[in-house]
């Protein structure tokens, strides 16, 4: 009797779940239909049909796992019960099919039908859990087949269900199959959506249990990282490793010994994202950095971001390298724990990104002292008090030089923000005290250019009219030149006579008016191309930091001139672009760089962002996709510009989404994610109901 009741529940679960999909009836059934279904089932199984009547005569509001919430109907008490009984019914009733006697509705047939249908996902999990060890290879075979399904191959769903079955211990009976399952999971982009960010809504994060493929998955991810994939894909691999909480310190460190140059720097970046750098001892860091003779500050910045600043502070050679890069304006970092070291204090004092905020009127009380402005960065201390001086860790002669600079600058810390906004004095003190010790540098040029933005009608410094006179105050010379921003003849003379082309171009390009810059474009282009390649890149970076100080306001005639075929280099066009107002920039990306075919990463990034943004307005998306692919493969870097909140601005049709997903490693992550969603929605709308498949293929005799 008990066995019959269980079998009845399994049959009813199949009926109600399939009808819930096709009839949208929430899995409810009227009492009379329920009795009729039971009678049909019992008769086909050879049982007396009065069994159904006996069940209903004893229980009025509940029939075992069935309950009556709505009068006149029955349903399963909870949906997981219905899904479990349904899975058992499908597994137990699947026909045996030896060679030569093919039948429909076998276990492979049913697994395939369930796996292709999103609605039956939980039933699939219960169904797969019923398989014995000898049947498991069939699951792998079917999962690989589903990856090639004409519709589902453009989605992450095959990888998602594989990961889910792994985490459900389905393959734990046969560990040899772990590797096959993991290969399916890692075959394609959007794996982050499967294993690290959660599928679709980023809520269903899956973590593989121990002895259930976790270690094999992490090992495979590390093997993929060693091939240095595109940065988007590398981030997804790293997310999987971190999400599964597996330490790879030993393997990461051993592989470091085989690398040098850019690859070692990239591997260092992987180590930072994996949370490995913060775990390294000083001796281990020494061993790794000694491998590469390349003086690359990027690795030092990654160490700082990993709370390893004290390591650098105890290694004079690396501290000197860090200082050189600070003064060259090459680095931006934040030591989140707070830092009392002299070099970090000097960095914060000169940081363009932080000091630029002094001009933002709405952020600070103008009477607040500069000391309070930087209080949270712990940069300010009273250098006259012995107890505070003892807090400053002086390690070597370089620290002593920096402490001397900070001590000579102590007066600026008590000056109110209003004075920083209206007077050159505090800026001048900082720059000149630093110049005395370390001489001129690009960072000091940028800092002095920033200082020229003070609001004052009196501080014109006409006696500092020689921009090249290094014996005079740098801030005052640049302030005077800034006030000549609209004087074309003045700048023509400066550019023709200047020995320091970098400084002259920097001041002009940050503060020059539209009229001055446009009239001098040929000269600017010529001088820019005379600069070394490193200084060309530095000038662009300086403009990215400072271009906001003075956006160009252009007349209609000037716009018309710039839209014409300008005989200037692409880099010079980029310079113009960085001085434009934001609302003008969108148009000029297309005007300046429509046919750009070079390798400059900044131009490529601008163009790629523009192309993605304009997919929505494109009449023919298929024309844009090859160009997006070409640029993305050249860049090999993620698009941080497009965050999730901007996704609604990007729309794709299904055919374009298929093109992207068929070669997903060649397109930006944001496009692949959107394309996968479109293909996912299409798959849902075009999935055949499992109940209809069962009826069409005669899975059952009743």
Looking at 529, 560, 591, the residue that finishes a domain is 591
Residue 85's domain spans which residues? 1-93
Which one, of 71, 72, 75, lies nearest residue 63 by Cα?
75
In angstroms, the CA 684 to CA 297 distance is 50
Same domain for 414 and 277?
no
The β-bridge partners of 63 are 66
Structure tokens at 628: 């997006």
In angstroms, the CA 169 to CA 163 distance is 10
Same domain for 426 and 462?
yes
**Which pLDDT value is given to residue 587?**
84
Same domain for 145 and 186?
yes
Residue 428 lies in a domain: yes
Determine the angle formed by the axes of helices 533-546 and 521-530, rounding to 10 degrees: 130
The DSSP output letter for 580 is: B
Looking at 481, 498, 530, the residue that finishes a domain is 481
Q: What is 405-448 written as a DSSP string?
A: HHHHTGGGGGSBHHHHHH-SHHHHHHHHHHHHHH---HHHHHHH
The DSSP output letter for 189 is: S
116-121, long-range: CB < 8 A, 24+ apart:
116/146, 116/149, 116/152, 116/687, 117/21, 117/687, 117/688, 117/689, 117/690, 118/157, 118/683, 118/684, 118/687, 119/21, 119/687, 119/690, 120/17, 120/21, 120/690, 121/161, 121/164
Cβ atoms of residues 127 and 157 within 8 Å: no
**In the β-sheet with 73-76, what is the strand arrangement from edge to edge?**
29-30, 73-76, 66-67, 62-63
Cβ atoms of residues 162 and 115 within 8 Å: no
The separation between the first and the last C-alpha atoms of the chain, rounded to the nearest angstrom, is 22
Residue 691 lies in a domain: no
**Which pLDDT value is given to residue 530?**
94
Residue 696 lies in a domain: no
**Which pLDDT value is given to residue 381?**
41
In angstroms, the CA 327 to CA 532 distance is 18
Structure tokens at 432: 């000149």
Label residue 644 exposed, middle or buried (CB < 10 Å: 0-12, 13-18, 19+). Answer: exposed
**Which pLDDT value is given to residue 55?**
63
The per-residue pLDDT for range 36-55, each reduced to its tens digit, is: 888 888 888 787 777 666 66
The per-residue pLDDT for range 15-30, each reduced to its tens digit, is: 999 999 999 888 898 8
Same domain for 521 and 453?
no
Residue 301 lies in a domain: no
Same domain for 540 and 474?
no
Same domain for 57 and 20?
yes
The DSSP output letter for 555 is: -
Same domain for 477 and 502?
no
The DSSP output letter for 30 is: E
Q: CA separation (Å) from 211 to 169, 198, 228, 604? A: 9, 22, 28, 45
Spell out, as residue ranges, where the chain has pLDDT lower than 50: 59, 189-204, 376-390, 640-645
**Which pLDDT value is given to residue 524?**
96
Domain count, the chain: 5
CATH of the domain at 64: 1.10.10
Same domain for 142 and 45?
no
401-408, long-range: CB < 8 A, 24+ apart:
401/437, 401/438, 402/342, 402/343, 402/345, 402/346, 402/437, 403/342, 404/437, 405/346, 405/433, 405/434, 405/436, 405/437, 406/342, 406/345, 406/346, 406/349, 407/383, 408/433
The per-residue pLDDT for range 412-454, each reduced to its tens digit, is: 999 999 999 999 999 999 999 999 999 999 999 999 999 999 9
Determine the angle formed by the axes of helices 214-225 and 231-243, rounding to 10 degrees: 150
Residue 297 lies in a domain: no
Residue 300 lies in a domain: no
Residue 302 lies in a domain: no
Helix residue ranges per DSSP H, 46-187? 50-58, 79-92, 107-115, 121-129, 136-147, 157-167, 178-185
Residue 101 lies in a domain: no
Same domain for 465 and 495?
no
Same domain for 269 and 215?
yes
Same domain for 511 and 537?
yes
In angstroms, the CA 630 to CA 634 distance is 6
**Which pLDDT value is given to residue 442?**
97
Q: How big is the chain, counted in residues?
A: 702
Structure tokens at 375: 């209080």
Looking at 291, 326, 349, the residue that finishes a domain is 291
Give Cα 132 to chain centroid, integer Å: 41
Same domain for 475 and 490?
no
Which one, of 209, 190, 189, lies nearest residue 199 by Cα?
190
């Amino acid at each position: 009797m008990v066995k019959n009741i269980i079998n009845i529940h399994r049959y009813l679960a199949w009926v109600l779940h399939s009808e819930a999909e096709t009839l949208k009836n929430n899995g409810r059934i009227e009492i009379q239909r329920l009795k009729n279904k039971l009678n049909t089932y019992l008769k086909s199984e050879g049982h007396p049909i009065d069994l159904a009547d006996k069940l209903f005569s004893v229980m009025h509001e509940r029939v075992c796992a069935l309950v009556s919430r709505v009068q006149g109907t029955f349903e399963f008490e909870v949906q997981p019960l219905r899904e479990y009984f349904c899975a058992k019914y499908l597994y137990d009733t699947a026909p045996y099919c030896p060679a030569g006697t093919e039948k429909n509705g076998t276990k492979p047939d049913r697994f395939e039908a369930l796996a292709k249908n999103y609605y039956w996902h939980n039933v699939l999990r219960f169904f797969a859990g019923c398989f014995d060890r000898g049947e498991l290879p069939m699951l792998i075979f079917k999962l690989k087949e589903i990856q090639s399904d004409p519709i589902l191959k453009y989605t992450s769903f095959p990888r998602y269900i594989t990961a889910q079955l792994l985490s459900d211990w389905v393959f734990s009976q046969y560990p040899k199959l772990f590797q096959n399952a993991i290969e399916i999971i890692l075959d394609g982009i959007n794996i982050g959506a499967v294993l690290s960010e959660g599928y679709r809504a980023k809520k269903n994060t899956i973590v593989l249990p121990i002895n259930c493929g976790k270690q094999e998955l992490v090992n495979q991810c590390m093997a993929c990282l060693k091939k240095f994939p595109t940065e988007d894909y590398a981030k997804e691999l790293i997310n999987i490793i971190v999400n599964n909480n597996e330490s790879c310190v030993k393997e990461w460190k051993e592989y470091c010994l085989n690398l040098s140059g850019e690859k070692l720097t990239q591997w260092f970046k992987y180590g930072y994202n994996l949370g490995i750098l913060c775990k390294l001892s000083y001796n281990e860091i020494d061993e790794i950095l000694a491998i590469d003779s390349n003086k690359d500050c990027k690795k030092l910045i990654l160490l700082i971001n990993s709370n390893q600043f004290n390591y650098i502070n105890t290694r004079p050679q690396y501290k000197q390298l860090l200082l050189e890069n600070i003064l060259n304006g090459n680095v931006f970092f934040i030591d989140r724990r707070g830092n009392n070291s002299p070099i970090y204090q000097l960095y914060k004092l000169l940081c363009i990104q932080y000091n630029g905020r002094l001009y933002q009127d709405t952020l600070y009380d103008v009477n607040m002292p500069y000391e309070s402005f930087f209080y949270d960065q712990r940069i300010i201390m009273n250098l006259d008090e012995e107890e505070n001086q003892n807090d400053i860790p002086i390690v070597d002669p370089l620290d002593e030089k920096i402490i001397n600079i900070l001590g000579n600058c102590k007066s600026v810390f008590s000056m109110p923000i209003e004075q920083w906004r209206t007077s050159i004095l505090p800026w001048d003190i900082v720059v000149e005290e630093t110049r005395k010790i370390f001489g001129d540098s690009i960072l000091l040029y940028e800092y002095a250019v920033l200082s020229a933005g003070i609001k004052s009608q009196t501080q014109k410094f006409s006696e500092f009219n020689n921009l090249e006179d290094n014996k005079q105050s740098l801030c005052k010379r640049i302030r005077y030149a800034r006030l000549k921003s609209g004087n074309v003849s003045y700048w023509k003379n400066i550019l023709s006579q200047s020995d320091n082309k970098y400084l002259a171009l920097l001041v002009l390009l940050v503060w020059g008016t539209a009229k001055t810059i446009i009239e001098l474009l040929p000269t600017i282009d010529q001088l820019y191309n005379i600069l070394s390649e490193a200084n060309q890149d530095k000038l662009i970076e300086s403009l990215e930091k400072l271009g906001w100080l003075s956006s160009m306001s252009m007349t209609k005639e000037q716009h018309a001139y710039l839209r014409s075929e300008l005989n200037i280099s692409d880099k010079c066009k980029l310079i113009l672009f960085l001085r434009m107002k934001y609302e003008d920039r969108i148009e000029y990306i297309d005007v300046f760089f429509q046919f750009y075919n070079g390798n400059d990463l900044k131009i490529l990034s601008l163009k790629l962002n523009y192309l993605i943004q304009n997919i929505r307005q494109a009449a023919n998306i298929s024309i844009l996709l090859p160009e997006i692919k070409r640029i993305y493969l050249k860049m090999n870097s993620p698009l941080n510009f497009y965050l999730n909140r901007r996704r609604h601005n990007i729309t794709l049709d299904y055919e374009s989404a298929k093109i992207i997903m068929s070669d997903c490693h060649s397109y930006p992550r944001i496009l692949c994610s959107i394309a996968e969603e479109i293909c996912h929605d299409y798959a849902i709308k075009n999935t055949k109901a499992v109940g209809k498949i069962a009826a069409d293929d005669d899975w059952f005799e009743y």
